[in-house]
Chain A
Amino acid sequence: MTVLNSRKALKPAPGEGTTAARARRRNGTSDGMMRVYQLVLAAVVLGAWELLGRAGIIDEFFFPLPSDILATVWSWISTGYVFPHLWITMQEALLAFAVGTAAGLFLGFLLARVRFLERLFDPFLQMFNALPRVVLAPIFLLWFGLGIWSKVAFGFTLVFFIVFFNTLEGVKNVDRVLVDNARMLGASEKQLLRHVFIPSALTWIFSSLHISVGFAITGAVVGEYLGASAGVGYAIAQAQGVFDTQGVFAGMFILMIVVLIIDLLVNRLERYLLRWRPVQSS
């Protein structure tokens, strides 16, 4: 697993999707046609993989046939085997995400507004952020046991820093004149937070939301993989233990679909909450 440096906050890219869509249209290919091309590309790659596997050119043991992977996925779903695991993983990810986001938002706002605290905490936060998070997994296993809490703690350390640094940047980058204007209109500190700082930081928080949702799930799965009694990571580790590569790929595939669906929902939410943003035409 890569441990990104979450300090490097992502600049929000206003109206990214729409711009891309426009550019595509200008290049003469409609969205619908592009979908068709994408499907064709996927079919070609998967088909080649399948054929090469059947022809014995790539080793079926390490790269199981796509058809076998899908069959395994189907059997995991139809027998209901995967759902309890998925449910556990989702619980862990959701808890890690909720607690990590809440803590990141709170501390981000606090430190952005209180300069003294920011200067006080800065080196420590840098130190913890520099720590490759995977090394924490063993100690969390010892502290919190094999149950869900060790994974929640692990996911928390991933989510927290991303949300925290983005919130900090977001609040500190609020346009000075907007704050002054609100103050002149009689805003109290609380009203400033509500009407100016939170909406302004939202763009930053959202740009981190996609990553932090992914990291919450990553944290849960990696934690499970390293030691657990349930969860998709555990299921993958089980399959690996008996050299069942189809099972490993099936677990990966299911996770991928789940993350895609969640990302789609986050996109929806983002588009609704940031509807005031100008759509930039390039």
Chain B
Amino acid sequence: MTLSSAGTPTQYAVELQGCTKQFSTPGGGTYFAVRDIDLKVEPGRFVSIVGPTGSGKSTILNMAAGLLKPSSGTASSFGAPVHGVNRRASYMFQQDALLPWKTVIENVSLGLTMAGVGKAEAHSEAQRWLEKVGLKNFADRYPHQLSGGMRKRTAVAQAWIVNPDILLMDEPFSALDVQTRQIMENELLALWQESGKAVVFITHDLDEAIALSDEVVILGAGPGSTVVGNYEITIPRPRDLLDIRDDPKFVELHREIWGRLKIEVSKTYEAARAEEGEVA
């Protein structure tokens, strides 16, 4: 982790210390999803977590959000331990999480109306956000009437409208086609830049992680995975996402990080194969 200015103790937007999460399995045993996770995210930083499937990325995010209690270790946010849901964070879920019975504008304004903002005001604010994410003509649609990319953009607006200090994003763009995805990544960076918000971004796409982040955290293969690598991404900002993959710095970082990630990915693959062999 980088040193912060002149020795003052840093208030991390998200801080996990020695967090372990175990689940009980249907067979009666326990399954360690993640073990001894240390994660520190300073305000204003963009941190990506990359790891093979099933390595516990969503679990980590859920602990940071306060939706899951760590089995041991502590999760804190801005110096205070997380009790219940983390009120300073917004969460973009891996799955579709828009309320299907609310229109786009009702979904986007939900965070405001539930906080007691008047409906008219909340809707005009929501309309501003819909314009930002390019959905101003779709305010009255229901989620099932949108494309997958439009639903994701609605979710972005829904998460950002409450002006959170922390944004937790769980593979928000992984279901999108390459072009849409690049547009969304650009939009995300534009929104985030200078916003001072901390972003924890989960992806299994290393390119995406390097292109967007200040820091990339590599998670080992499960079960009981833990942080196996931590890389500072020093590519200057603002970044041009369209050409960044040709940037020599990007190429170098990619080679270095992929060398580490590859080991974990193949471990996961081997484990899956071994399991298959056992079953057969």
Contacts and interface: CB of A to CB of B under 8 A. Distances in A.
A199 B67 contact: no
B162 A185 contact: yes
A181 B91 contact: yes
Interface in B56-114: 65, 67, 85-87, 89-91, 93, 95-103, 110-111, 114
A188 B110 CA distance: 12
* Interface class of chain B by DSSP: loop
A177 B110 contact: no
A184 B89 contact: yes
Contacts of B65: 180, 184
Given A187-B114, A276-B100, A180 B90 contact: no
A262 B118 CA distance: 38
A200 B100 CA distance: 9
A11 interface: no
Interface in A153-183: 177-178, 180-183
B111 A278 contact: no
B258 interface: no
B158 interface: yes
Contacts of B100: 276-278
B102 A276 contact: yes
B144 interface: yes
A195 B142 contact: no
Contact of B110 (A180, A185, A200, A278): A185
Interface residues of A, number: 20
Contact of B97 (A178, A195, A276): A178
Q: Point out which of B65, B96, B103, B114 has the most chain A C-beta atoms below 10 A from its C-beta.
A: B114
Interface string B254-277: 000000000000000000000000
Given A185-B110, A276-B102, 7 more contacts: A178-B97, A178-B99, A181-B93, A184-B89, A185-B114, A187-B114, A195-B114
Interface of B: 65, 67, 85-87, 89-91, 93, 95-103, 110-111, 114-115, 142, 144-145, 158, 162
Interface of A: 177-178, 180-188, 191, 195-196, 199-200, 202, 276-278
25 contacts: A177-B95, A177-B97, A180-B67, A180-B97, A181-B91, A181-B93, A181-B97, A181-B98, A181-B99, A182-B110, A183-B67, A184-B65, A184-B67, A184-B85, A184-B91, A185-B110, A185-B114, A185-B162, A186-B111, A187-B114, A199-B101, A202-B101, A276-B101, A277-B144, A278-B142
